[in-house]
Amino acid sequence: MTGNRRDHGDGGIDERSPGHFRLRYRVGGKRFTKSFHGSIGEARKELRRLIKSADDGQHVAPDKATVECYLRDWLDNDTGLSPKTRERYQQLARLQIYPRIGKIAMQSLRPDQVESWHKVLLDNGLSPRTVGHAHRVLHTGFERAVKYGAVARNIVHVVKPPRVEPAEIEILSPEGIGAVRAGLAGHWLRPVVEMALGTGMRRGELCALTWDAVDLAKGMIQVRASIEETAAGLRLKEPKTRHGRRTIALAGITAEALRNHYRDQCALRLQLGMGRPTDTDYVFPKPSSDTFVPWPPDQLSRDWARVVVSRKLPRVSFHALRHTHASALIAAGVDILTVSRRLGHGRPSVTLDVYGHLVDRREDAVTAALDMALGG
């Protein structure tokens, strides 16, 4: 199979075996070839990209591409990455990868160089967790390079990232929950805090919640979207997995708090001559006297941090409210699968990774229950 010829960057595709191709193209009178693994459609797309890079003057010979050159091309052009993920990956690559190993050719990078890179980052004061994030970016880039034939294997896979000690998660005690509720009496943060404690929803999910996803009569809400902040502004996105799209039943105290919040929002809107909230209005809009626009998640965290100090509440992050919800369910004996589904985790193993130590604490209760049951 041969593609159309072009004056600058003409090329073709040879199928070596099912799913394996050789891409042929020309740049400035010089011939280049590149191995490629994937479908014929993907091979054509990659050939078009190579030819376009030649036309744009950005072509790098497959055997000469450096780590920095390849990662920049990937992170600038891969439409499969969400804007937030792209920004984070670009930041990690710019700060941790390019200055250390960016000039090394992709095909020349060795496992011992990756290990040395880890050591340099750790010696410079980076935490094992941050080094692990940078490692993941490099690993993902090499996985893509293998897929598209830029390298024969992912040498990053050979090297393990630094071990990260499990972080102790922040959880409010029952007394802490009571202190938060009492301390927020009459405050505009109280409703969203009640929902975070009562549902375990992420802050982006709370900020994206609209009234058409709420059934006040049945005490049910549907999680359909999340708001994330990027350099370009706020972005509404769907859940990453089907498990993220979920229905949550509200406890009586949470449902009552939400009904009170609805009445208060109706009263405020009527004062402003806006009428009752519509289905597409946000349940927790940005705090303001005359607008009902989305509440940026980062601002929600900052608002929470300020009120924690001003009202002398327990000093935990807003995300700790989600952890508190999960820990309360586990302490009550709710099975880990149900907890996982309520939190919107893709797999119960994710829930166990975060909250497994809380499950372990219930072993004494389990053995006591068995003694009672088996002993009659």
> Residue 192 domain-assigned?
yes
88: pLDDT strictly greater than 60? yes
- Polymer length of the chain: 376
376: pLDDT strictly greater than 60? no
Could you list the residue range(s) of the whole structural domain that residue 107 is in? 67-158
120-167 per-position pLDDT tens digit: 999 999 999 999 999 999 999 999 988 877 787 899 999 999 998 877
How far is the C-alpha of 330 from the C-alpha of 324, rounded, in Å?
10
The pTM (predicted TM-score) of the whole model is 0.72
- The partner residues of 12 in beta bridges, in order of sequence, read 24
Q: Are residues 90 and 41 in the same domain?
A: no
Domain count, the chain: 3
Q: Are residues 193 and 312 in the same domain?
A: yes
95: pLDDT strictly greater than 90? yes
In whole angstroms, how large is the CA radius of gyration of the chain? Answer: 27
Residue among 71, 34, 67 at smallest CA distance from 50: 34
> Residue 368 domain-assigned?
no
Q: Are residues 134 and 48 in the same domain?
A: no
Q: Highest mean pLDDT range out of 19-23, 166-170, 320-324, 355-359?
A: 320-324
Q: Are residues 199 and 330 in the same domain?
A: yes
Share of the chain above pLDDT 90, in %: 56
CATH of the domain at 86: 1.10.150.130
7: pLDDT strictly greater than 60? no
98-114 per-position pLDDT tens digit: 999 999 999 889 999 99
Q: What is the pLDDT of residue 4?
A: 34
Q: Are residues 43 and 79 in the same domain?
A: no
Q: What is the pLDDT of residue 52?
A: 81
The DSSP call for residue 289 is: S
Single-letter amino acid code for the residue at 274: M
> Residue 4 domain-assigned?
no
The mean pLDDT value of the chain amounts to 87
Q: Are residues 244 and 127 in the same domain?
A: no
